[in-house]
Every structure is written in C-alpha cells, then in structure tokens.
Structure 1
C-alpha cells in the first residue's frame, strides 16, 4: 500500500530577500515516519528569529531556501509507526525552529507539548517560545525574588510584554523601555515606561534605581550592553538573549554573537558579585534531549496555566492568514506594534 501524503501549503524564504520576496508553494508532505506525526497548523507566528533569518543573520539557520516558522500550535492529523494513534485530533504546541509557516508540519512526537483544551490557539501560540523564554530567564537564570527591581528592554515586544507580566506576578518592580507610542500599554502591564530612544535613557534608569537593579533583560546587545551591565547592583544578574542592535550589520552572522559571548564570559568571571548570562532556549538539548523537552513542557504548562486563569494576557499585535505571511513579517519588522504577530490558516 502506498504511503498517504498530505497536500501542504508552505511559505518559503528563498534567499536574503525583503519580506515581499517570500514565496508560497504547494507540495505533498510525506507520510509521517517512525516516531513522527503530522500536525495541521492552527496558529504560528513571527518571531525575531525570522527577521534575522531573512537577512541571513540567525546564528545557526539552515541554508536557503527553507520554510521559516519557529513554533506552532496544531492538531495531530496522522501518526507514524510507533506513535500512539490516540494523539489524532488532539491539539499540541511544538517548537520547530524552522518549518512552521505551513498548513501542515511533520513533527517528532516527542516534541509535542500538551496545551489546555480551553486555550485559544492564537493566544497559546503567542506564549510558546516567548512565554518559555520569559519564564526561564526570570526563574531559571536570574532566580528573581519578590521585592526585587528589574529592567526589561523592549517591554512592548513579544518576549518583553510577557516578561513584564510574569515579573509583576512574581512580585517584582519593573522598569520597561519602549517607544512612547507603547508607554500606555507598558504601564497597563505594570511597568514604569521609559523611552528607549532617549539619549539619556540609562541616566533615567539609574535615577529610578540609584542603588542599582537586581536584573536586566537585554535583547539588544551591541555596544549598549555595557550600559546594561553597569545598571546592576552587587548580586544582580544581566540576562542577554539577543543581539538586535547588530541584525542589519553586514558580515558574519556568528561574529556579533561570539563577541557578545566573550564579553559576558569575562564579566561573569569578575570578582564583583554580579552575573552575566546569555539565555539560549536550546541549551542542554544535545546533552539530554529528554530532560530538555520535559523542562520545556513543564515551563510552558506554568505559563499557559496563567493564561487560562487570566493572570497573563498574551499580547497579539495582529493576525494574518498564512498566504499573507509577507505582510505579517513586514508588520513585525515595522517596530510599530506591541506583542507578537500571529499567522493563522485563515485570518
């Protein structure tokens, strides 16, 4: 008997192109292999990773052409050998790094993460990578404690807006940076907003916390990370999780990250009682995939529990149909929106 394939619509990133250079193609998705499932995409989204990938600047992206899409919420429609057929019809989240901008996706069954049946797919999608990243940076890396003060750069972004809410839920005082157009939102989320374009931004940050802060969450990188480091009090922690400042620089995609690693290593080794860390969602997967996956699933469960009970409100900037992925990417890169741009099968 011939293996049953699934017709699939995919968004292809063919080369280093502008958002309108994305291509839509139809294809036949192979039948799931041993240990795999087919997921019908119910929601995916635009993360900073795709913005870097289209420039060829993501640290370990695959060669062009490829299908972007860092994570998704989807429903299992078929299972391969040695996979429980009872998974069919159930909805899960999965972190794929690439491939999720498609109507159907092949996923290893071991990568499926359960989500509550009452969770809206778009809302759940908004907090898969963003929520796990925020949760782990707060609780597994910085080890925050109630009553502390933290700075969140880009507090209006997908990760930033989640960080602010989780930090407030943990009993922290939060200072958040963002464009003035987003200050009302940042304030509503529970943070004190500051204009990230202000030339005296770091002076204003120090004025709000003259004794220093307990943690800084910095996705910007570049030269300004030195200023983030100087905001810390003794015992404080700098958590770097990106290098947005260098995304448009020509040259190697790896060099800015390697320079950042070197700087953080030196700082972390200094006998000053402060810590400097680079957060990597994938850390530990090669060493022990089972442990890594269980940690992902446990932390996503914590985040989704807060979504379901209304404590954490996912910030959905806009929704687009899969065929309009180019417009979704363009909007996400415009720096005019708060939260995450979500892609649905049909908007």
Structure 2
C-alpha cells in the first residue's frame, strides 16, 4: 500500500517541504501503526524546518508534532485491542504523513464522538497551556494573568482554561483580533500601538501574577516588568526568531535570543520582590514526567467531550498543502489552530468502526 509523507531534506523556508509517495510503514515489535486523520501545524515546526529549534532532528525528517488517527495495524507484542481505536499522540516529528508507527505507550485514547480535528488541537497547544497553568504557574482563582499572542493556538487555549479557573485575564493581540480575546473573557491590549507594560500597570494598579510569554528574546524582560511582587513569567517560545515565517537575523542574533532569557532568569532570581522567570518545554517535561502528559491530555479530552472547552480551528487543509499551511502560519494572523487532513476516508470509516466496537 502506498502512502504520502512530507520530507525536509535541508533547512530553509517552506519551499523545502517535499511531498513523497512511498510504501506505507509497518510497525516494529511493541509498536502500533496509526492511520493519521489530522496533524497539527505549529510554530515549533517552522523553527525545526529552519534548523533552530532546541529539539534537534537529524535530516532528513518529517515535520509534525501532534496527531490524531486510527490504529490499523499492531506489531508483535502490541495490543490488538487497540485496533480500530481513535488515538492521539505527540510524536514531535513524523506527523505530516498518512501513517506513523509509534510505541503503544505513546498513544492516548480519544473519547467516542470527539471531532479528530478538535482533538488534535489539544495535543500540543492545550497540553502546553494546561501544564504551564496547572503544573508551573499555579494561578489561583481571581488572580491576574497576561497572555501574549492571545488569539493564537496556545493563546486561545490559555484563555479558555483561564476562564475555567476563574482568572482575571489580559491578552496582547493585534487590533483586528481584539473581539476574539474579548469573547474568551479577557481584556485585550493592542501590543502594536501601546506599551503593554504600562498598560498592564494602568489597568491593574500593580501588575499581574503570571505572564505567559511565547515571544521570547527581549520581550521576556518586559513581561517581567509587568509582574506584581511574587509574580512569575512562564517563558515557552521564540516567535521573535522568525519574521514573516523566515529567520530573523544571523547566528549571533539567534544565540543571543536563546541565551538572553537565561540571563533574565538569573537577574530575576536576584532582583527584589520574589518575581521569577520560569522556562517551559512540553517535550522535555513529557520525557521527564510522561505520566503527566497522558494524564493532562486525558483530562483535556474529557473537557472537550463534555463541551467545556472548544478549540478554535483556523483552517483544515489537505496534507498536500503542507507548504501553504506553514506559509500562512509564518505570515502571522492565524487565529487558532491550523490542521492538516491526512486521511479523510479514515475520518469517516474508522470512527464508525470505533463506535460499533464500543
């Protein structure tokens, strides 16, 4: 059986994404093969494509951090009870494909009746938001938080989870996205026309308890200045590294961008007011505490099934348009999650089989 897969053979812009047709893989011992229905498109994949993401992947590689699909083949020693089941996973690479083989313990069951496209929106974006909020930031009901990029994939996840947690929320976004931020329960701040540090202090009369900063570089220290005493910045991304989807600056700029937040964290530790800058990385925490990842994703899938959260899906695009999807994300202004549809047939047939077997 033939299948499609996207391959990156050398680092560069979206043009390096190559669609190849090949024989479908078969699972090794202890593995299950997943026929991928939906794969997320994330900013991390743009950084990996450019060769600057901390998660180093040997060339050639297939992008794709987060997937949802149907288990259709079991390797020796793997559970045949999983066949026909809808599952989610965070493989970190390999998701831009029609099939992927993964160890059985990498897969999390998806509840019956859940839209696979909405489910894949949880795997990277919502787990990131959930862990930053509940495993690292620990804001209490009524506390104030600032969310950068509040209309994006992780930003909208933070807003929804913050609403459930009873937080007072502020979100930076371009003026055109203010209605999205307001609808999700936050006070929008136009980062293009206002100094968000001054605006936060004006609105709160003292600063916020937690800032979620996915911008990186110099923005981390500005976020630190928006904190009240005892507050925390959760630094989790480097969107400042790219401009219109391509590398911004040379090697010296990128090294400075990686090292500067570490220096800020040291400065924060010795500064008065017990304010802190804490780094977050979903892949490192998943490797350190794999049970947390499965627990948190399962909790989010239940919230989705029960209608307590509703991922914002920006667009559903076929796998063959992976290059275009990364171009759109790199240009900015994407509201919510971009998702590649890898096997539309599996989406219709596999879920029906799953429901019949339950």
Cα offset, 1:162, TM superposition: 0.4
Per-residue deviation, residues 139-163 of structure 1 (Å, max 9, x unmatched): 1101110010100000001000000
Aligned to 1:276: 277
Aligned to 2:260: 259
Paired residues of 2:220 and 2:264 also in contact (CA < 8 A) = no
Cα offset, 1:270, TM superposition: 4.2
How many residue pairs get aligned? The number is 338
Deviates more, 1:241-250 or 1:158-167: 241-250
Paired residues of 2:25 and 2:100 also in contact (CA < 8 A) = no
Cα offset, 1:282, TM superposition: 2.4
Aligned to 1:244: 239
Paired residues of 2:220 and 2:233 also in contact (CA < 8 A) = no
User: Is 1:133 matched up with 2:128?
Assistant: yes
Cα offset, 1:16, TM superposition: 2.5
User: Is 1:190 matched up with 2:185?
Assistant: yes
Cα offset, 1:173, TM superposition: 0.7
Q: TM-score, normalised by structure 1?
A: 0.92
Question: Which structure dedicates a bigger proportion of its chain to helix?
Answer: 2
Deviates more, 1:98-107 or 1:26-35: 26-35
Per-residue deviation, residues 285-323 of structure 1 (Å, max 9, x unmatched): 555xxxx22211111122122222222110100010011
Aligned to 2:219: 224
Structure 1 residues 87 and 264: CA distance shift in structure 2, 3 A: same
Paired residues of 1:18 and 1:54 also in contact (CA < 8 A) = yes
- Whole-angstrom CA distance in 2 between matches of 1:117 and 1:10: 27
Paired residues of 2:286 and 2:292 also in contact (CA < 8 A) = no
Cα offset, 1:199, TM superposition: 4.4
Cα offset, 1:202, TM superposition: 2.1
User: Is 1:339 matched up with 2:336?
Assistant: yes
Per-residue deviation, residues 123-147 of structure 1 (Å, max 9, x unmatched): 0011111111101111110111001
- Whole-angstrom CA distance in 2 between matches of 1:134 and 1:9: 31
Aligned to 1:329: 326
Paired residues of 1:114 and 1:297 also in contact (CA < 8 A) = no
Deviates more, 1:80-89 or 1:192-201: 192-201
Paired residues of 1:34 and 1:82 also in contact (CA < 8 A) = yes
- Whole-angstrom CA distance in 2 between matches of 1:120 and 1:261: 39
Cα offset, 1:245, TM superposition: 1.2
Aligned to 2:354: none
User: Is 1:208 matched up with 2:209?
Assistant: no
Q: TM-score, normalised by structure 2?
A: 0.90
Cα offset, 1:65, TM superposition: 2.2
User: Is 1:46 matched up with 2:47?
Assistant: no
2:300 alignment partner, one of 293, 300, 303: 303
Per-residue deviation, residues 163-214 of structure 1 (Å, max 9, x unmatched): 0110011000100011111111111111111112124232112211121111
Paired residues of 1:153 and 1:176 also in contact (CA < 8 A) = yes
Paired residues of 1:59 and 1:254 also in contact (CA < 8 A) = no
Structure 2 matches for 1:55-134, cutoff 5 A? 55-134=50-129
